[in-house]
Chain A
Amino acid sequence: MTQYESRIGTASKEAIFTSNALLSSGSIIAPAVVVATSFMQAAALCIIFSTVTYITVVVCSYVPRKLLYTIRIIIYTLVASLVYVPAAMLVELFMPSYFAALGIYAPLLITNSMITVRTEAKFYRLKRGYMLQLAAFYVIGYDIGLLALGTLREMMADGGLFGLKMLPISVPTVSSLFGGFIVLAILSAGFRWISARLLRREEAA
């Protein structure tokens, strides 16, 4: 394996497993818990989040470091809001009911911690090429967590997926707020356990 491939591998493992934004770090959980009550709603949120975050990170990587930190953050948010408009229009065109269900949590993604915190703390301290790949993996990691949460909640709340009955029992409370927190906590615990086991197996190998 070349050095480049190993770096990509390390970046992907870090972003998807050990530092997964939703399931490991516990950041950006409000939209996930409130909105992601089904697979399709989670998918709508994923599209908006991925578009807004990644494009903002890429564009804002060209903002000069000489500017004051506060000004930089304001610029990042401004750029994110400009990117949000066409992304929202796109999702509203193809998934109108799911977009309507997102409510206030879709525009709130403009100020998510990946744009306002992680860029300054991590991304913009790296070389651009590697940073772009790492940012992409972070976004993919969050999307995976979000889709898993939405799928699990739909299966538990309705007893199945996409209208198909799969389980003998349905737990409607899971689609509520406190049920969402409980499911997210269980999912995070299971995810961390699996990640730890995989890492241990790799180290042993």
Chain B
Amino acid sequence: MVDTISNSVFSASDRTELNRSARITLMLLALNVMAVYYYGARAAIVSGIAVLASLVTEYILAVLSKKSPRLCDIYFLSDGLLLALLLPASVPYRIVVFSSVFMSGVLRFAFGGNKNLIFSPPAAAFAFSAITWPQNVLRYPSPEPFGSLSLVSDLPQVLEHSFSYNTDISTSYTGLLEIIWGRLRGPMGTGCVLIIIICAVSLYFFKDIPASVLFSGTAVNMFLFVLFPFSQTGWMAVLYSLVTGSFMYILVFLACDPRLAPKLPMAGVLYGGLLAGLSFIFRKLLMLESSGVFALLIVELFASELERLSAVAGSAWERLLQRIKRGAVDAFIYIKFRTGRVDARLEEPSWDPRENASEKSVDSANEASLDGANEASLDSANEASLDSDLEKPRKDASGKASGGGASS
């Protein structure tokens, strides 16, 4: 019945979009579960406030602009969760409300909706909040299993820098198990890299995220961390490249957003590589927390230019391939038939050209027809060949008759 309703209400593209948004929302809810495990009900309240504020803003703006909200447009849900999971669990509720309203009202609605986005709304809203309230947005509580933070808006406890920030400036180390389970001081939903990787793999198989962006971003990030390590080297550097800086979360859920990521594969490779490179530079030189968000906002500006570059490079490559193919075919034909004609000239002809004049004329007639001669010439050529064929038996017959007559 649900299928019948959805089939009748939504078009095919709307259904695809709805399914994609639903899958991404489900993945984000899984990350929310881990956040609740470490920080208690406060994490769920922060996520709920973000989603509710986003929904109310969208509804009010839709009413004011006299646009009917579509059932399939549930980006308020995924964007609200994306924003909430980038924030610390200790963030005051008013900041969550303001950020969500800013995200939906200014960054999405004012730009013309989901079809005309320049910046990722959750990323830009997070960047705005981080610059405006750095003491609230870039300081984190310590995660504890079955933890329970106070539900008061402004937490009294002392908050600290994230695990990533500490690893960047010192050789602080934490246990491998803590890294695997994501028990790291940082944003609510970006520490559980194992779950993020599982989400990435499933989204990849559902074709919800572009593989080119995902793999190139991951590869370049790991490569840079190995070449220019912060505090850990070798395989630990590879592990820290995945775990720290919220990079995997930003790459999988924000950079691979189908509304903004480039569609062409080569453009996606460049996009992911640029994002990883810029994020690394910001972290190395500016010691920025969640530097991937700021890098993403810059790289997103060039997404359309990368697509154009990829299209131009792709068409140039295809033209080059075609030229090479044509050249190879021409060379093959030249070598083969040039070689054949030389052989023919060298060999003695096995037939008498005079006796086989009819065959030659047939051949020439056929060649003329193959060359695209008209039917008249073909007919005339055939008639000529037929005549010459007929002449031969007539000649033979006349020769025999005169010989017979002579003999008798």
Interface residues of A (CB under 8 A from B): 168-169, 171-173, 182, 185-186, 189
Q: Does A172 lie within 8 Å of B106, measured CB to CB?
A: no
A171 touches B106 (CB 8 A): no
A68 to B192, CA, bound (A): 72
Inside 8 A of B110's CB, which chain A residues have their CB?
185-186, 189
Task: Verify A173–B131 contact, CB threshold 8 A.
Answer: yes
User: A186 CA to B102 CA in the complex, in Å?
Assistant: 11
Chain A residues, Cβ within 8 Å of B128: 173
Asked if B322 is at the interface of the complex by the 8 Å CB criterion, the answer is no
Question: CB-nearest residue of chain B relative to A171?
Answer: B132
Most buried by A among B106, B110, B132: B132
Question: Can you pick out 15 interface pairs between chain A and chain B where the beta carbons lie within 8 Å of each other?
Answer: A168-B94, A169-B94, A169-B95, A169-B98, A171-B98, A171-B132, A172-B132, A173-B128, A173-B131, A173-B132, A182-B106, A185-B110, A186-B106, A186-B110, A189-B110
Residues of B near any A CB (own CB < 8 A): 94-95, 98, 106, 110, 128, 131-132
Q: Which residues from chain B contact A186 at a C-beta distance below 8 Å?
A: 106, 110
Report the 7 A-B pairs with minimum CB-CB distance, sorted nearest first: A173-B132, A169-B94, A171-B132, A173-B131, A168-B94, A169-B98, A172-B132
Instruction: Report the bound CA distance from A189 to B110 in whole Å.
Output: 9
CA–CA, A173 and B125, complex, Å: 13
Residues of chain A within 8 A (CB-CB) of B131 are: 173
Number of A-B contacts (CB under 8 A): 15
The closest CB in chain A to the CB of B128 belongs to A173
- The complex places the Cα of A186 from the Cα of B106 at a distance, in Å, of 8
Contacts of B132 in A (CB 8 A): 171-173
Which residues of B sit under 8 angstroms from A172, Cβ to Cβ? 132
A168-B128 Cα distance, complex, nearest whole Å: 18
CA of A173 to CA of B95, assembled, Å: 13
B94 cross-chain contacts in A, Cβ below 8 A: 168-169
In the assembled complex, how far is the CB of residue B200 from the closest CB belonging to chain A, in whole angstroms? 33
Q: Which residues in B have their C-beta under 8 angstroms from that of A185?
A: 110
- Other 12 A-B pairs with CB < 8 A, given A169-B98, A171-B132, A186-B110: A168-B94, A169-B94, A169-B95, A171-B98, A172-B132, A173-B128, A173-B131, A173-B132, A182-B106, A185-B110, A186-B106, A189-B110
Residue of A nearest to B97 (CB): A169
Distance, CA A173 to CA B98, complexed state (A):
13
Q: In whole Å, how far is B231's beta carbon from the nearest beta carbon of chain A?
A: 32
Give B385 Cβ to nearest chain A Cβ, in Å: 86
Question: How many Å lie between the Cα of A173 and that of B110 in the bound state?
Answer: 19
Residue of A nearest to B92 (CB): A169
B247 to chain A, nearest CB (A): 25
In angstroms, Cα B94 to Cα A171, docked, is: 11
Tell me the smallest distance from the CB of B126 to a CB of chain A, in Å: 13
Residues of B within 8 A of A168 (CB): 94
Q: How far is the CA of A176 from the CA of B94 in the complex (A)?
A: 21
How far in angstroms is the closest Cβ of chain B from A158? 13
Please report the C-alpha to C-alpha distance between residue A184 and residue B105 in the assembled complex, in whole angstroms.
Answer: 15
* Complex CA–CA separation, A182 to B101 (angstroms): 14
CB distance from B80 to the nearest CB of A (A): 18
List, in ascending order, chain B residues with CB within 8 A of A189's CB: 110
Residue of B nearest to A172 (CB): B132
B98 / chain A contacts, CB cutoff of 8 Å = 169, 171
- B61: shortest Cβ distance to chain A, in Å? 11
- Chain B contacts of A182 at CB under 8 A? 106
C-alpha gap A11/B132 in the complex (Å): 41
Name the residue of chain A whose CB is nearest to the CB of B94.
Answer: A169
Q: How far is the CA of A169 from the CA of B95 in the complex (A)?
A: 8
Q: In the bound complex, how far is the Cα of B106 from the Cα of A96, in angstroms?
A: 37
Q: B106 contacts which chain A residues (CB < 8 A)?
A: 182, 186
Task: A189 to B95: give the CA distance in the assembly, Å.
Answer: 24
Nearest chain A CB to B130 CB, angstrom units = 10
CB distance from A107 to the nearest CB of B (A): 31
CA distance A168 to B93 in the complex (A): 11
What is the distance, in angstroms, from A188's C-beta to the closest C-beta of chain B?
Answer: 11
A185 nearest in chain B by CB position: B110
Instruction: State A182–B105 Cα separation when bound (angstroms).
Output: 12
* Shortest distance between the CB of A154 and any CB in chain B (Å): 16
**A171: which B residues are within 8 A, CB to CB?**
98, 132
B53 to chain A, nearest CB (A): 13
Contacts of A169 in B (CB 8 A): 94-95, 98
Give the distance in Å from the alpha carbon of A185 to the alpha carbon of B106 in the complex.
10
Closest Cβ neighbor of B132 among chain A residues: A173
Q: Which residues of A contact B95 (CB under 8 A)?
A: 169
Residue of B whose beta carbon sits closest to that of A173:
B132
**Distance (Å) between the CB of B406 and the closest chain A CB?**
117
B135 to chain A, nearest CB (A): 11
Q: Determine the residue in chain B with the shortest Cβ distance to A186.
A: B106
For B153, give the chain A residue with the smallest CB separation.
A168
Tell me the bound Cα distance from A182 to B107 in angstroms: 10
Q: Complex formed: what's the CA distance from A172 to B128 in Å?
A: 11
Chain B, Cβ-Cβ closest to A157? B132
